[in-house]
Amino acid sequence: MIESAVDITLLSLIAIHAVAIIRMRSLFAVIMLFGGFSFLSAGLFVAMDAADVAFTEAAVGAGISTILMLATLALTYAHEDVQKEEKQPTHKPWLPLSVVLITGGMLIYGTSDIPAFADPNAPAQKHVAPYYLKKSLPETGVPNVVTAVLASYRGFDTLGEVTVIFTAGIAVLLLIGGRRKSKIPFETRSNKE
């Protein structure tokens, strides 16, 4: 009972943050709310027994993502622009709203086939997971099963993940790294070219 109370409270808070992000027009507030959103979801991961995921989400999601967004905000808006607000949307919200409602309705309809939440006899819990829970300590000597799978059984996948991050790092450097900031403002530059 207490578990579902924690679950519902955290999920509702996360949903409130998400709706507030939609409604807020000050970008600084949006980014701060996003940090809170990530941190609350890290809390929810702990409540759902995923301690390693919670660590990563708190450090990477709430930490690095927020800092990256703040840095982008600093680079894209002028210092004098204290408000840093997005423009009032010009389109009517009906088309995106109906797309979202239809998609959400279909997804909720799809959940009727998913086994009950936290059901110990769900197929996902009965297939290979018991093997790792039983064998990972004798086979790898690591008590944390998530670490054992990530670094030992699926070590090559983790290497592949490092490649992905490396590629993204190179792409970011190619896009914005190693150039001096252009001193010519945008309007005059396009006239010269």
Partner 1 sequence: MKYIVEHYNYWLVIIIMMAGFYTVISRGNLIKKIAGLNIFQVSVFLLYISIGNVKDGATPIIEEGITLYSNPLPHVLILTAIVVGVATTALGLALVVRIKETYGTIEEDDIHNQDQSL
Question: DSSP readout, 59-96?
Answer: IIIIIIIHHHHHHHHHHHS-TT-SS-BPPPP-S-SHHH
Among 6, 36, 43, 137, binds partner 1 (CB under 8 A): 137
Contact between 155 and partner 1 per CB under 8 A = no
Contact between 39 and partner 1 per CB under 8 A = no
Tell which positions 7-36 bind partner 1, by CB under 8 A: 7-8, 11-12, 14-15, 18-19, 21-22, 27, 30-31, 34
Using left for φ > 0, alpha for ψ between -120 and 50, and beta otherwise, residue 49 falls in: left
Contact between 1 and partner 1 per CB under 8 A = no
Q: Mask 41-60, x = binds partner 1 (CB under 8 A)? A: x--xx--xxxxxx--xx--x
Contact between 82 and partner 1 per CB under 8 A = no
Residue 69 amino acid letter: M
For residue 106, which phi and psi values (nearest 5 degrees)? Answer: -65, -40
Contact between 157 and partner 1 per CB under 8 A = yes
> Nearest Cα to 40, choosing from 64, 69, 61?
61
Q: Mask 163-192, x = binds partner 1 (CB under 8 A)? A: -xx-xxx-xx--xx-----x--xxx-----
